[in-house]
Amino acid sequence: MSTADDPTADGPPAATTADLDRAGYDPAFLTVDLPLPAVHTTVRELPYVHFTVLLDPVRRLAALTAVNVDGSSLVDLGRGVDWHLDGRVPDDEQTGPGVYASNDLDRGHLVRRRDPVWGEQAVAVQANVDTFCFTNAAPQAAEFNQSKELWLGLEDQVLQYASTHRQRLTVFTAPVLLDDDAPYRGIRLPRRFFKIAAWTTSDGGSLRTAAYLLDQSPELDGVDLEAAFARAHEQGDPPPLGPYRTYQVPVRDIAAMTGFDLAQLAEADTLRPVPTIEPPDGIREGWVPLTSVDQLSF
């Protein structure tokens, strides 16, 4: 999810997503079959070019995104595309431009813009357009700091790994949608986002995974968070969000947070298993805080 992929100015009108033939995420893309995880909530499955969005129509945000990345046939395209709604679903089931207007919220790509842009030129061009659909966006605080740079660096490294080794990857990305997320303009702003990269080994095609978490939970020690949310709501401001923190985390903890069925991905986790304990600060034992680009490896 990369706000660096957000265009700074509106480009030419994008094609509508209605009535276009898209295959979406391919579960047989790797040498190991990897179906979409069960999310155990009502979603609309929206296929695009090389990726799929499972849209939560109540939260008006993606419950999960899944993209196939082919490092052997990536195409380098510019961003010149405007954000647009998906004509296949009602506007009021999507988080559209009104949520991002006149505030400091970024439209953060979930499926990163460059990840599905591969294959024949025409296909790559359409994939690029598809990533600018609002169903593939989630609000993020605009403030840029080291931890957010690390998250963007992670996305760069994933793509660079695929390109250098001509490797196929599958990447799952989503906001963590919680009941106590703060309301804003008809939606609730997520505080955490996760990314799980999956690939297969060259020796025997065994599945391997690595999971990462971006946390922008508010840090308001001594402040009544509910009251702070209420004041922001009354004033028409976005709820307070905290500084970005980036972690490598066990896949099983992502499953516990979301309720998704990630058993296949958890069994292939490359992070050394450790006991999971929930301390008072909410940062679990076994979460590896990332503070340097040198730590970004999988």
Rounded distance between C-alpha atoms, residue 107 and residue 95, angstroms: 10
Work out the pLDDT band at 295, boundaries 50, 70, 90: low
Work out the pLDDT band at 160, boundaries 50, 70, 90: confident
Helix extents (H) in 50-102: none
Instruction: Specify the pTM.
Output: 0.84
CB-based burial, 154-190: b 16+ in 10 Å, e otherwise? bbbebbebbbeeebbbbbbbbbbbeeebbebbebbbb
**What's the confidence (pLDDT) of residue 42?**
95
Q: Mean pLDDT in the chain?
A: 82
**What's the confidence (pLDDT) of residue 296?**
60
**What's the confidence (pLDDT) of residue 5?**
47
- Residue-range domains of the chain with CATH: 3-295 (3.40.570.10)
User: Who has greater pLDDT, 42 or 104?
Assistant: 42
Q: Report CA-CA distances (Å) from 227 to 128, 231, 234.
A: 41, 6, 10
Work out the pLDDT band at 236, boundaries 50, 70, 90: low
Q: What is the mean pLDDT of residues 147-176?
A: 81
Give the H/E segment covering residue 192. Answer: strand 192-200
